[in-house]
Amino acid sequence: MKIAITGKGGVGKTTLASSLACIFSKDFDVFAIDADPDMNLATSLGVHENITPISSMRKLIKERTGVESGTSFGEIFKMNPKISDLPDKLSYDYKGDGTLKLMVMGTVEKGGEGCVCPAAVLLKALLRNIIVKKEEIVILDMEAGIEHLGRRTAESVDILVIVVEPGLKSLETATRIKKLSDDIGMKKIVAILNKISLNEEKDFIEKKLSQLNLNLIGTIPMDKNVIMSDIEGKPLINYENSIALQAIKKIAKNLKRKA
């Protein structure tokens, strides 16, 4: 199962991605992939050492795509670089209860249709070709959109999760993402509501989401433990009394059912 998490900046994508990764790693082999240029999935997992982002591995990019990173126009390079051995080579082994591997993509140049920068080609190939066996789960922590994925990559994502928070701004982003994902034919698009403290907030968002035709599969309350975990640099899974963590555990079950 490949789960991609997106939504406006600050809504809680990384918190959700890291917590799901920890929860799933008890029963599955998990690849957590930080595909947001504003990388902080590692920190959210309590990993504080530097992990080299794939986009800065110039030698690797050159070796696999045939051209220097940073090049784009007029170069002919391999659109289908060999990547089958990469996930294991590149991923950082996270020391948790189960198997959890972490990969950091780094800043990948964007572009419209047919963006052909080598780093982007490598990233897309990676996402497309990570073979997910029955007992494997890939969790992608993405930026606010899916533009950089491209049609074929997006096709390989099983569930797109859009995180929203109370307010019109994150709903606006959700609307845009929903449209893009419909356009490229993604099938399972669901929403998660985060940072809820009042029933009125939940009602408001629920109404808006149903207008968008988005299925709400979970609600995460506003929780001081999330802020504490951020301050202390520890993963939320360490905070057993966290009501947000309890909610994310339920979401993990829902996602397994949806897949």
Ligand X SMILES: Nc1ncnc2c1ncn2[C@@H]1O[C@H](COP(=O)(O)OP(=O)(O)O)[C@@H](O)[C@H]1O
CB under 5 to 8 A by kind: which of ligand X, Mg ion, none does 244 bind? ligand X
**Dist. CA 217–CA 35, nearest whole Å:** 23
Q: Of ligand X, Mg ion, none, which one does residue 9 interact with (CB within 5 to 8 Å by kind)?
A: ligand X
> How far is it, in rounded angstroms, from Cα 65 to Cα 43?
30
> In whole angstroms, how close is the CB of 140 to Mg ion at the nearest point?
11
39 binds ligand X (CB under 6 A): no
x/- mask, Mg ion, residues 10-49, rule CB under 5 A, reads: ---xx-----------------------------------
Strands 99-104 and 29-34: parallel
* Residue least distant from Mg ion (Cβ): 14
Q: Which does 245 bind (CB under 5 to 8 A by kind): ligand X, Mg ion, none?
A: none
Q: What is the dihedral of CA 248, 253, 256, 259, to 10 degrees?
A: -80
- The yes or no reply on residue 168 touching ligand X (CB under 6 A) is no
Size of the site for ligand X (CB under 6 A): 17
Do 147 and 113 touch, CB atoms closer than 8 A? no
Q: Interface with ligand X by CB under 6 A: which range of 95-103, 110-118, 153-161, 217-225? A: 217-225
Q: Residue 70: which of ligand X, Mg ion, none does it interact with, CB under 5 to 8 A by kind? A: none
* Binding of ligand X by 13 (CB under 6 A): yes
Contacts of 171-178 with C-beta under 8 Å, sequence gap 24+, read 171/205, 171/208, 171/209, 171/212, 172/8, 173/7, 173/8, 173/144, 173/145, 174/7, 174/8, 174/209, 174/212, 174/214, 175/212, 176/145, 177/6, 177/7, 177/144, 177/145, 177/146, 178/212, 178/213, 178/214
227 binds, among Mg ion, ligand X, none (CB under 5 to 8 A by kind): ligand X
Q: Where are the beta strands (DSSP E) in 44-110?
A: 92-95, 99-104
Q: Which of residues 221-250 bind ligand X (CB under 6 A)?
A: 222-223, 226-227, 230, 244
Which CB atom, from 81 or from 235, has the smaller least distance to ligand X? 235
* 159: β partners: 3
Query: What tokens does 252 get?
Result: 């993990």
Smallest distance from ligand X to CB 244, Å = 4
Q: Would you state the structure tokens that stand for residue 251, as one six-digit string? A: 């979401």
CA–CA distance, 5 with 72 (Å, rounded to integer):
28
Near ligand X by CB under 6 A: residue from 12, 81, 218, 235: 12
* Site residues, Mg ion (CB under 5 A): 13-14
* Site residues, ligand X (CB under 6 A): 7, 9-15, 194-195, 220, 222-223, 226-227, 230, 244
